[in-house]
Amino acid sequence: MWLGPEEVLVANALWVTERANPFFVLQRRRGHGKGGGLTGLLVGTLDVVLDSSARVAPYRILHQTQDSQVYWTVACGSSRKEITKHWEWLENNLLQTLSIFDNEEDITTFVKGKIHGIIAEENKNLQPQGDEDPGKFKEAELKMRKQFGMPEGEKLVNYYSCSFWKGRVPRQGWLYLTVNHLCFYSFLLGKEVSLVVQWVDVTRLEKNATLLFPESIRVDTRDQELFFSMFLNIGETFKLMEQLANLAMRQLLDSEGFLEDKALPRPIRPHKNISALKRDLDARAKNECYRATFRLPKDERLDGHTGCTLWTPFNKLHIPGQMFISNNYICFASKEEDACRLIIPLREVTIVEKADSSSVLPSPLSISTKSKMTFLFANLKDRDFLVQRISDFLQKTPSKQTGSSIGGTKASVSDPAQEVRKPLRNRSGWARLDEEPRHQDSPQLPTPCSLSQAKEKMKEESWNIHFFEYGRGMCMYRTAKTRELVLKGIPESLRGELWLLFSGAWNEMVTHPGYYAELVEKSLGKYSLATEEIERDLHRSMPEHPAFQNELGIAALRRVLTAYAFRNPTIGYCQAMNIVTSVLLLYGSEEEAFWLLVALCERMLPDYYNTRVVGALVDQGIFEELTRDVLPRLSEKMQELGVISSISLSWFLTLFLSVMPFESAVVIVDCFFYEGIKVILQVALAVLDANVEQLLDCNDEGEAMTVLGRYLDNVVNKQSISPPIPHLHALLTSGDDPPVEVDIFDLLRVSYEKFSNLRADDIEQMRFKQRLKVIQSLEDTTVETSGREGPQGYHLTRRCPLQAKHLASQYWGGNRSAAVHRDPSLPYLEQYRIDASQFRELFASLTPWACGSHTPVLAGRMFRLLDQNKGSLINFKDFVTGMSGMYHGDLTEKLKVLYKLHLPPGE
């Protein structure tokens, strides 16, 4: 390609001149091509270590004049053919013109101007595409494509200098991270190492440090273990590798969702030497972290963040932390994790003003809300710019208040019928204990019922005091005191309200008024596999609860589950959703239960409720890992009995609601909506810890399950004001002397005392590691099962090659037919289909006799033979049938195939 002329002082160092004329010299890099000897080896090694451009462009053309000692580079090329084309153009178009100049300076000026003009013309033609990063990064992307044979569609995200450990010898080279691949290249003293690994094949990715591999990154596939070290910034590299591997796992898990996700936004003005994709992925990671931290809707985009302090009136302090600004929210998180967290929806903001600065309060900013709360931020670095950004977002925020006021008197925005707005527990005829008449002759001593009533009143009063000091509603200050109150149990009168707040479901409900009612109307009378499964499970959701022993409760549950299946057909309906949703309906209206279900399925328990319950399996893996760390003596026994896989799915999928008395399990749900999955993990560890000795004495899985079942069935909530509900699990635990009752609040306290060192970011890191294992394991299981379904004699032990083509076509194929003809509902062998061009590629790579000019013809005829329905696509079953016949068929069958291949088309 043509290069902007740059001065070269020493023209012949490490280069060999191959052609020359009075004005130009064509050179080849020593060590490239045949020969070169020791000098060539040293030069090649030097090029790799220093990332020299000569490695990708071993040919160049220099401009020089007869009396000058200065040379100017004008072109380079990766092949002799490319550089020869440039040389011939110069000879044909410039030599005769240059010969008429008398002044050598004029010659050089003319050549430089001409080359700049050619480059400008080329850039003008390429500029509308807008998809290339300029500068050094573009050069690195070109190297990657040349070195590893990648197509134009494969985008480089970033590249890093590092060492690859081959045995005990480090190979210094360059690691290229593309959207679809991990690539490494090294050339040292004639020894070349070239690696290409697809992200979808990675089964393990972790950062570790050993004596042999100091601070290294380990990448495992099914076939090999790779170690890379000596990074300049290993943290940045590993984070990027995690993101790319996660994208690949999401592609395997949900192809359609991946296609929507892979269209990363491009920056308006790309910066030199920085990958636009790298910036996009960094922005995406920040967005995901921001939404998870503050439980915000999935379409919320972080605009920026800045350090500041927040005045907290409840303790009269200026708390340091970070302010986050997005399209619809202003959020604050203190540096100390539990000190304070704040969420201010812009729809609630009435005034944003700059207060007077002082030495005590520099650059203050005051924000007032409709609920008469005022928040004072200070120590803002660029207050004027921040105020302008908030003003811009406020102008785009709808002025009218959507939905109702939480904690206020307005009704919910769901069904117009007043009855539907009430929780089921208030309209099912379920009598509360405090409504039972007292006998005249009963003693005047405090009864358990009256004690529970008193404690409930005390909880309500504690929360009212908390609301007075910390605010009520979405703009409430969330502190360690808030968590303490949640751990003591949320009063029944506030449970629905606080679940909506802590889960973030309230935000989505008030910004989508009428959405649930529309879904109910649209889904009315529609039948699908999901609705059939819903109908089958309706009457066994909570059959022991009075609210679901009549058609009123059943109908409400049906509407919520059907509406969600209609909203999210990818999930549709999964067993255990009915149990969780029935509890949500007890404490909220149908619409509130619907949005709580959305928060559960799409944010708080990601990938839990799908056909393969991937999310639950991922957290099961985390649970096993934590058990090994904190209960090592029990872990080995549990693995031997195979109990963890049995218990964790039922515990996690239903949030303990299916294995614990209702009035106790609902307290865990309180904590879950505030703390997230860490509470479920902590309680599960506490249950195992409390039964260590009994479990160690168990001889089989059934005995261990009985021990755990008896324990959980006797976890009681003595503070509950609700009538005790018979628990179906008690059927498994009857017969012997009942174990000692365990108070649910004692269990929660122990779980926090012993296992509260779990952090949200640590759990996400563990989820990533487990997600690789789980998805690859599921893929292997599917492939193994499908291999047994294939033709006799064919053994499928690795990923379906048609699936690999399908995945590649999603990145590179544009409108290739295979990319748009995958049907996940079909059996694995029939899901992935390929066209004739893709079949030719596979045929050439899989058949040992594929060589010479006859291969494309033979592949075309074979494809035509296998394409029996003439749809120009064949699935894996057809592919395996044809190939296994050619490989494993007897002589008669092979001759028959050969005869059919030579039949004219149409016969």
Structure-block tokens of residue 9: 């002082």
Q: Rounded to an integer, what distance in angstroms lies between the CA atom of residue 431 and that of residue 433?
A: 7
Q: Rounded to an integer, what distance in angstroms lies between the CA atom of residue 821 and that of residue 871?
A: 11
Chain position carrying tokens 């302010």: 323
Q: Is the per-residue pLDDT at 276 higher than 70?
A: yes
Lowest mean pLDDT among 264-273, 524-533, 551-560: 264-273
Q: Which of 63-77, 658-672, 850-864 is most confident?
A: 658-672
Q: What is the pLDDT of residue 309?
A: 95
Under a CB-based contact definition with an 8 Å cutoff, are residues 118 and 46 in contact? no
Interhelix angle 234-253/276-294, nearest 10 degrees: 80
288 CB contacts (<8 Å, ≥6 apart)?
none
Q: Which of 248-252, 278-282, 681-685 is most confident?
A: 681-685
Straight-line distance from the first to the last Cα atom of the chain, in angstroms, rounded to the nearest whole number = 51
Q: Give residue-wise pLDDT tens across range 701-711.
A: 888 988 998 99
Classify residue 656 as left (phi > 0), alpha (psi -120 to 50) or beta.
left
SS3 state at 302: strand
Q: Rounded to an integer, what distance in angstroms lies between the CA atom of residue 414 and that of residue 416?
A: 6
Question: pLDDT: is 743 or 34 the higher one?
Answer: 743
Q: What is the pLDDT of residue 182?
A: 94
Structure-block tokens of residue 253: 């898990």
Bridge-based pairing state of the strands 225-229 and 156-166: antiparallel
Under a CB-based contact definition with an 8 Å cutoff, are residues 157 and 177 in contact? yes
Q: Give residue-wise pLDDT tens across range 781-823.
A: 766 665 555 555 444 445 555 555 555 554 444 444 444 445 5
Q: Is the per-residue pLDDT at 261 higher than 50?
A: no
Q: Is the per-residue pLDDT at 689 higher than 50?
A: yes
Q: Rounded to an integer, what distance in angstroms lies between the CA atom of residue 381 and that of residue 383?
A: 6
Under a CB-based contact definition with an 8 Å cutoff, are residues 131 and 268 in contact? no
Question: pLDDT: is 720 or 434 the higher one?
Answer: 720
Under a CB-based contact definition with an 8 Å cutoff, are residues 234 and 217 in contact? yes
- Across residues 90-115, what is the average pLDDT? 81
Confidence of residue 219 (pLDDT cuts 50, 70, 90): very high
Q: Rounded to an integer, what distance in angstroms lies between the CA atom of residue 427 and that of residue 435?
A: 15
Confidence of residue 507 (pLDDT cuts 50, 70, 90): very high
Q: Rounded to an integer, what distance in angstroms lies between the CA atom of residue 453 and that of residue 436?
A: 13
Q: Rounded to an integer, what distance in angstroms lies between the CA atom of residue 108 and that of residue 74?
A: 11
Q: Rounded to an integer, what distance in angstroms lies between the CA atom of residue 229 and that of residue 221?
A: 18
Q: Rounded to an integer, what distance in angstroms lies between the CA atom of residue 866 and that of residue 875?
A: 9
Question: pLDDT: is 328 or 95 the higher one?
Answer: 328
SS3 state at 227: strand
Cα diameter, the chain: 128
Q: Which of 296, 162, 345 is nearest to 237 (CA)?
A: 162
Structure-block tokens of residue 426: 């208030």
Q: Is the per-residue pLDDT at 550 higher than 60?
A: yes
Bridge-based pairing state of the strands 169-178 and 181-188: antiparallel
- Across residues 144-166, what is the average pLDDT? 85
Q: Which of 145, 193, 137 is nearest to 167 (CA)?
A: 193
Q: Give me the percent of the chain exceeding a pLDDT of 90.
A: 34
CA distances from 557 to 222, 293, 523, 552, 589 (A): 45, 30, 14, 9, 11
Q: Is the per-residue pLDDT at 532 higher than 50?
A: yes
516 CB contacts (<8 Å, ≥6 apart)?
414, 563, 590, 591, 594, 595
Question: pLDDT: is 864 or 604 the higher one?
Answer: 604
Q: Give residue-wise pLDDT tens across range 454-466.
A: 888 999 999 999 9
Structure-block tokens of residue 802: 């048609």
Q: Which residues pair with 374 in a beta bridge?
A: 368
Q: Which residues pair with 29 in a beta bridge?
A: 15
12 CB contacts (<8 Å, ≥6 apart)?
none
The number of residues in the chain equals: 907
SS3 state at 810: helix
Mean pLDDT score of the chain: 79
Under a CB-based contact definition with an 8 Å cutoff, are residues 748 and 668 in contact? yes
Interhelix angle 492-503/662-675, nearest 10 degrees: 30
Q: What is the pLDDT of residue 509?
A: 94
Under a CB-based contact definition with an 8 Å cutoff, are residues 431 and 546 in contact? no
Q: Rounded to an integer, what distance in angstroms lies between the CA atom of residue 86 and that of residue 77?
A: 9
CA distances from 694 to 634, 638, 708 (A): 10, 12, 9
Bridge-based pairing state of the strands 742-743 and 715-716: parallel
Under a CB-based contact definition with an 8 Å cutoff, are residues 612 and 649 in contact? no
- Cα 312 from chain centroid (whole Å): 35
H or E element in which residue 687 lies:
helix 677-690
Q: Is the per-residue pLDDT at 826 higher than 70?
A: no
Strand 191-198's sheet: what is its strand order?
A: 191-198, 181-188, 169-178, 156-166, 225-229, 216-220, 204-208
- Across residues 80-98, what is the average pLDDT? 84
Under a CB-based contact definition with an 8 Å cutoff, are residues 175 and 140 in contact? no
Question: pLDDT: is 166 or 486 the higher one?
Answer: 486
Q: Rounded to an integer, what distance in angstroms lies between the CA atom of residue 649 and that of residue 646?
A: 6
Q: Give residue-wise pLDDT tens across range 631-650.
A: 998 988 888 887 887 777 78
DSSP codes joined into one string, 817-866: GGGG---TTS-HHHH-EE-HHHHHHHHHHH-TT--STHHHHHHHHHHHHH
Q: Give residue-wise pLDDT tens across range 875-888.
A: 767 777 777 777 67
Q: Rounded to an integer, what distance in angstroms lies between the CA atom of residue 257 and that of residue 247?
A: 10
- Across residues 689-697, what is the average pLDDT? 92
Q: Is the per-residue pLDDT at 543 higher than 60?
A: yes
